[in-house]
Structure 1
Amino acid sequence: MHPGETDRTLLSPERRRADRARLATDVVDVLVIGGGVTGAGAALDAASRGLSVGLLEARDWAAGTSSRSSKLIHGGLRYLEQMAFPLVHEALKERARLVRTIAPHLVRPLPFLLPLTSPVWHRAYYGAGVALYDAMGAAFARDRAIPRHRHLSRRRTLQAFPGLRRDAVRGAIKYWDAQVDDARHTLAVVRTAAGYGASVLSSARVVGLLRDGDGPDAAVIGAEVADLTDGSSFTVRARSVIAATGVWSDDVGAMLGVSAPSLKVRASKGVHLLVPKAAIDGGDVGPNGLILRTPTSVLFVIPWAEQWIVGTTDTPWKLDRDHPAASSADIEYLLEQVNRVLTRPLSTEDIVGVYAGLRPLLAGESDETSRLSREHAVVMPVPGLVLVAGGKYTTYRVMAADAVDAAVERLPGAPRSRTAELPLVGARRWAGVRDRAPALASGYGVPQEAVERLLRRHGDQVTAVLDLVRADPTLGRPLPGAPHHLAAEVIHAVTAEGALHLDDVLTRRTRISIETPHRGVESAPEVARLMATVHGWEDDFLAREIAHYEARVAAERESQRMPDDRTADAARLGAPDVRAGV
């Protein structure tokens, strides 16, 4: 059995109990704090080097920034304007690896139109930038999975994207980047790390650091942990600790009693809207995304299953970091910007879903978050503790490798990173299953469209979900209020993907919380009932799960009616986190 495959990757309730017991008794080589994509990447990097690894996450995998991105894997075309050539070069190299080898089932090429408003200088200026972008990307795309850019006339532009206003464009440049389901990708990284032997634990909040002495320079030798499933506490001892906590980096500094030198992280809020496909006429053949310039940043209009994602904002955020809130001002800003180029303006009535996330930006001289660095930093404020922060989703693997390199400097004979060509769970046999939807549908008695959607979510692990349907045909039915998801996906989320709460399934294992007008409320009772069959929830616990979820949705809706950040934050905090009660 190959490391990183099959049963060893299953994040079942039994696996969690075994990992909990192991972490409380063993001394690991590397303990990673933070279950976003960078922390998950660090755990995989260290475990695939043959090191013993623990990974702790306070809530759910990808619950913070890593499930609330623009869902893009890209070099960052706008960073060329800032002359950030090394950052773009690095990101394009990672894009090629993700599309080609690491996660081709989750990361797919996507065409974008860059509309031009001037027929001459815009075409020359942006054309030169996109040509450079392509040239940098081509150095890594051996099989040209990402096509080269093309120039379009106004007529060709309007044919490609009929919803654009004729008077708003003089033509366009069509170029390609890639799209990812960020939460499912992060989950795949965690599962792959588990397959290489990492002990992984969500709902495990680090509340303190273990020190080898009392002085300010005493080495960090582990962490004190609160298990949020039962209220118990335990300690994990480690030879080295990596904190990949993003916008929570200051919390780790507070545990030390000192601020980490040379590493200041500021949170920038990014809000995204989801609207139905029918709300924007993006053409009938292979819908294109849009990238638009705004006064402060860029705006994307991105095809996403049966919706469009419109985003993002880029504003400072100094309030609650666990549950950043979108205000009516954020929503109005996005609608105003996108409506400048659409023939049919969007309104709040069109909005299906809204989500807000925080980017961890390395602070510079300027207070404007759009000017803060997207590069990453790795520092060691005291022996035994490595902090990594900054960067962008696309370059998570590089950040993770740099952090592990720093963590193992003192370990004799530590091997080099192996993750550059290491497929994630779902990717190893992708070429053999990606075109098998008709055969799988026939063999399992499931509609072909459902199998195609499962392939895009699970890759070569699709049969693990379909086997559940074969064993219990009732699991082949669609979920109430979410016809694109099968009941079997809920059971798989609990038995293989570490889902502990209703919110974990509705928000991250699936995207029902943002892809349906009811925000998952209509699906919640049945999803909770299915989860209860595996977790053994009693009726009162099941009812609390549903009540928590309904309160969260109500609080989010209320926050989105508030005029500014402060009132939106207060409204969102009206619903406590489901894990806060332990």
Structure 2
Amino acid sequence: MHPGTTDRTLLSPERRRADREALADEVVDVLVIGGGVTGAGAALDAASRGLSVALLEARDWAAGTSSRSSKLIHGGLRYLEQLAFPLVREALSERARLVGTIAPHLVTPLPFLLPLTAPVWQRAYYGAGVALYDLLGAAFTPGRDIPRHRHLSRAATLAAFPALRGDVVRGAIRYWDAQVDDARHTLAVVRTAAGYGARVLSSARVTSLLRDGTGPGAAVVGARVTDLTDGTSFSVRARSVVAATGVWSDDIGRMLGASAPSLKVRASKGVHLVLPGSAIERADLTGAGGTQAGLILRTPSSVLFVIPWGDRWIVGTTDTPWRLDRDHPAASSADIDYLLDQLNRVLVRPVGTDDILGVYAGLRPLLAGESDETSRLSREHAVLTPVPGLVLVAGGKYTTYRVMAEDAVDAAVSVLPGAPASRTARLPLVGAHRWNDVRGAAAELAAGSGVPEETVAHLLRRHGDRVDDVLRLVRQDPALGRPLEGAPGYLAAEVLHAVLAEGALHLDDVLTRRTRVSIETAHRGVDSAPEVARIMAAALGWDDDRTDREVSHYAARVAAERESQRMPDDHTADAARLGAPDVRAHV
């Protein structure tokens, strides 16, 4: 059986204990620090080459930037204006791979409307850009998984997006990109790496680097690690270390010492709003077999996306410098007001703060340039070897994570003779191997499990061809087929599966990343927390005190986020958000 499809991909509590014990006794070929999408990609790249690999993450998989993106896989249409043709071409190539081979169950084509608000020149100017975008992408999509763009009249534009103001819009250009559940995709990369033998450990914070000597140029030969599940420390020794730590890259630089070269990374805060579907009128697609389009709107500083997200909307994003707490970036009322103001300029019915279901903020790691304006900093990535044995990788964008990972591992294995080339360009992730066999099987799977067909269809888009791993739990215990309290779009079985197969260690891991209850419900997961905690407690052996502590931590986190979103600026929002410590901080 293919290594990526076996139960070696299951991130069970037993698997974590085994990996933790083994790492203290081994010397791995490649140690990867950072469990975001780039670090996960590097672990998969190295493991699929046949190398021994360890992947360490201080919190949860995708807990930072990689669960807080715009959830788009795109070439970056706006970068064409900056003449960044190689960057766009590379991203479009990766988009085609993700949609076609790597993760078709998680990455789906999505149409966008680029509204035209000015006379003829705008249609010609934007049309030329979108045509070039299609041309750059066409070489990678011979089967046309991504349709070509079309020019729409004013009437056709309003039919496709009836919430738009007719007195503002003169027409539109419809083009296609793709959408992803970023946290679940990153998790799939981690699980696939585990399937190829990588030892993967979340809640494992690197506290220092091991050096082969004392001088500033001494080689890095591993890392000292604290296990945040029990407070113990251990060392992981490695022939090469890759640090894919994003906006935390400075931490690695401090471990090296002031004299060592390092990547200069600045954090740009991106805030997103989640709205109910009713907040913005949708097109009537009954019998049309179509897909609700999103919007891309020009703003004074950047662009704004209005993105369909199931039966909800995601609106974002901001692009502002952030120099405060990196673990928990906070959205302020100013951020929210800015997004609503830009959105309401084009809508018939304005959206207000009362419409908002969820808010999330993430930090993009941008390679620092001469300008302080984060919207102008490079979206390209860089790979640096500051001392022997250590590779730093940073920058880039979610769409090009695989290229970043390949470049980083290429640099790491340059000291390992005989290491094969990367295989990940054609390597399906967990859930993708038999996707074409199951993608239309919701009715059949529902009949055999007692789960409603619509629910199974949603499960397929989250779990792909591994959907039966969840449905099997329902067949074993029909009570697990019930919807979660306060979150009817998710099943109790998904919580148990998150613990048994997806490495969830805390309540926040399930409500924020294995599911999206935290941003998709008005209560932001608080109403679901007691039930989810009870399911997790039975699987993880929590006593009543630990279960209550998890629920209390989660409720405090939500309260702190709500308070931060009432604050007028970054500093007051940051102070409010820091009122609730991370659940791992008590160790």
TM-score, normalising length: structure 2: 0.99
Q: Distance in 1 between matches of 2:569 and 2:239?
A: 45
Equivalent in the alignment of 1:493: 498
Equivalent in the alignment of 1:438: 443
The amino acid that maps onto 1:166 is: G
Equivalent in the alignment of 1:263: 263
Instruction: State whether structure 2 residue 511 is matched by structure 1 residue 506.
Output: yes
Equivalent in the alignment of 1:93: 93
Q: Distance in 2 between matches of 1:203 and 1:441?
A: 36
The amino acid that maps onto 1:564 is: D
Equivalent in the alignment of 1:402: 407
Equivalent in the alignment of 1:418: 423
Equivalent in the alignment of 1:474: 479
Equivalent in the alignment of 1:296: 301
Equivalent in the alignment of 1:283: 283
Equivalent in the alignment of 1:156: 156
Equivalent in the alignment of 2:373: 368
Q: How does 1:3-42 map to 2 (within 5 A)?
A: 3-42=3-42
* SS of residue matched to 1:223: strand
Note the C-alpha offset of 1:261. Answer: 2.9
Note the C-alpha offset of 1:260. Answer: 5.2
Note the C-alpha offset of 1:408. Answer: 0.5
Q: Distance in 1 between matches of 2:499 and 2:259?
A: 39
Equivalent in the alignment of 1:348: 353
Structure 1: give runs of 5+ residues left out of the alignment.
none
Q: Distance in 2 between matches of 1:287 and 1:54?
A: 41
Equivalent in the alignment of 2:49: 49
Q: Deviations over 1:283-328 (max 9, x none)?
A: 1222100000000000000000121000000000000000000000
Q: Distance in 1 between matches of 2:39 and 2:188?
A: 13
Q: Deviations over 1:75-116 (max 9, x none)?
A: 000000000000000000000000000000000000000000
Equivalent in the alignment of 2:238: 238
Equivalent in the alignment of 1:568: 573
The amino acid that maps onto 2:170 is: R
Note the C-alpha offset of 1:281. Answer: 1.0
Q: Distance in 1 between matches of 2:436 and 2:484?
A: 29
Equivalent in the alignment of 1:198: 198
Structure 2: give runs of 5+ residues left out of the alignment.
286-290
Equivalent in the alignment of 2:184: 184
Q: 8 Å contact 2:253–2:262 — kept in the other structure? A: no
The one of 455, 477, 481 equivalent to 2:460 is 455
Q: Distance in 2 between matches of 1:523 and 1:209?
A: 40
* SS of residue matched to 2:3: coil
Equivalent in the alignment of 1:251: 251
* SS of residue matched to 1:310: strand
The amino acid that maps onto 1:130 is: V
Note the C-alpha offset of 1:12. Answer: 0.1
Note the C-alpha offset of 1:119. Answer: 2.8
* SS of residue matched to 1:32: strand
Q: Distance in 1 between matches of 2:499 and 2:81?
A: 45
Q: Distance in 1 between matches of 2:282 and 2:245?
A: 38
The amino acid that maps onto 1:473 is: P
Equivalent in the alignment of 2:288: none
Q: Distance in 2 between matches of 1:414 and 1:50?
A: 8
Equivalent in the alignment of 2:547: 542
Q: How does 1:59-78 map to 2 (within 5 A)?
A: 59-78=59-78
Q: 8 Å contact 1:253–1:259 — kept in the other structure? A: no
The amino acid that maps onto 1:452 is: A
Note the C-alpha offset of 1:262. Answer: 6.0
Instruction: State whether structure 2 residue 306 is matched by structure 1 residue 318.
Output: no
Q: 8 Å contact 1:524–1:546 — kept in the other structure? A: yes
Q: 8 Å contact 1:59–1:203 — kept in the other structure? A: yes
Q: 8 Å contact 1:250–1:259 — kept in the other structure? A: no
Q: Deviations over 1:262-281 (max 9, x none)?
A: 62100000000001101101
Provide the aligned length of Structure 1 versus Structure 2.
Answer: 582
* SS of residue matched to 1:408: helix
Q: Deviations over 1:341-368 (max 9, x none)?
A: 0000000000000000000000111100
Q: Deviations over 1:209-259 (max 9, x none)?
A: 000000000000000000000000000000000000000000000001136
Equivalent in the alignment of 1:391: 396
Q: 8 Å contact 1:206–1:225 — kept in the other structure? A: yes
Q: 8 Å contact 2:381–2:394 — kept in the other structure? A: yes
Q: Distance in 1 between matches of 2:196 and 2:539?
A: 25
Q: How does 1:73-152 map to 2 (within 5 A)?
A: 73-152=73-152
TM-score, normalising length: structure 1: 1.00
Equivalent in the alignment of 2:215: 215
Instruction: Give the % identical residues.
Output: 81
Structure 1 residues 315-324 or 117-126, which shifts more? 117-126
Give the RMSD, CA atoms, in angstroms. Answer: 0.6
* SS of residue matched to 2:145: coil
Q: 8 Å contact 1:119–1:171 — kept in the other structure? A: no
